[in-house]
Amino acid sequence: MSANEPADPIEDLNRQETRDVEKRRAGSTRVVHEVVRQQGEEELGRPALSLLLSGLAAGLAINLSLMSELFLRQHLPDTDWAPLVYMLGYPVGYVIVVMGRLQLFTESTVTAVLPVATSPSPANLGRLLRLWACVLAANLVGVILVSGLMAGEVVLTLDQRQAALDILGKLEMQEGMKTLALGIPAGFIMAALAWLLPNAKGSEFWVIVLLTYVIALGGFSHVVTGSSQASFLWLSGSMTFVEMMGDFTLPALAGNIIGGTGLFAVLAHGQIRSDNDNDDDEKAEAGQKRAGEQRR
């Protein structure tokens, strides 16, 4: 190496410093893709009963988001900045569900989809639909059970129930197409959450809180959390079952799938496919170059 050429940075590091660099360096896109894909393979291979029980636990836990919001709301004045504070309760249910590795439908829009995108086949598609059906049904049963307890003032006082109705009052006027549109960014954010966690490295709590807080601030529609809110209104007599399903649950489901699978998962997987195709081209060029040198 000439005196004018810069030294390889690695050559200036001792063995311990080199290990520290490797430890602190974020995993490549391919590594993240493979980690998420393996998580999806694990989920797709779980027995139906396991998926149902985990999904039910997630549905029960996610109601803590609404409950935490209304507990904070009770102690705040009626001002413009109050939602910025009481919406900090929204991430509570997600922290329990995500860090507890419970089955939440919107996470599976990317984790369980990547194995199918990598190896598309009728069998894998069937496994995906089976997982989605089990998890979504269990999530919705869980949220409706707790919403019934909340609406019946079993786990809430009368004042707390009135506070919840006040928080959710705007939902009574929301239509299905608006819910679908708001469900797309929520699905994208939840898929991004699953994608980011492998590189979080001890910051998982803050990643979950930040991204789900954005969902709350934006008023985006999450099929499970939104169903907990809508089912509370239904069981409180503020809307009908048809309105709950037609204006909230089904449109939010469609929006979350579009945002999570149709946008994030397809783009993330497409990036990997593009990188792999580029590597294949480079390997082919290198092979042709070596063959040419050998002939000479």
What gap in Å lies between CA 66 and CA 185, rounded to an integer? 20
What is the CATH classification number for the domain harbouring 97? 1.20.1080.10
Within a domain: residue 203?
A: yes
**Does 170 fall in a domain?**
yes
Q: Residue 285 falls within a domain, yes or no?
A: no
Higher per-residue pLDDT: 44 or 269: 44
Dihedral of alpha carbons 43, 48, 53, 56, sign = positive
Q: Judge whether residue 151 has pLDDT over 80.
A: yes
For residue 285, give the amino acid letter: E
Identify whether 5 is part of a domain: no
Q: Is residue 296 part of a domain?
A: no
CA distance 155 to 146: 9
Q: Tell me the C-alpha distance between 168 and 221, whole Å.
A: 13
> How many domains, the chain?
1
Between 261 and 139, where is the model more confident?
139
Task: Look at residue 23 and tell me whether its pLDDT is greater than 70.
Answer: no
| pLDDT of 279 higher than 50 | no
Per-residue confidence at 27, pLDDT binned at 50, 70, 90? Answer: low
How many residues in total does the chain contain?
296
For 152, the token pair is 């019946």
For residue 270, the enclosing domain spans: 27-276
CA distance to 130, 149, 195, 259, per residue, from 120 (Å): 15, 43, 20, 20
Domain assignment present for residue 167? The answer is: yes
Q: Is the pLDDT of residue 277 over 90?
A: no
Which carries the bigger pLDDT value, residue 177 or residue 30? Answer: 177
Orientation of helix 29-44 relative to helix 122-151, angle to 10°: 80
Q: How confident is the model at residue 194 (pLDDT cuts 50, 70, 90)?
A: confident
The tokens for 228 are 């907990």
Q: Is residue 117 part of a domain?
A: yes
- Mention every residue, 6+ apart, whose C-beta is less than 8 A from residue 130: 48
Report the pLDDT value the prediction gives residue 26, as an integer from 0 to 100: 52
Does 84 fall in a domain?
A: yes
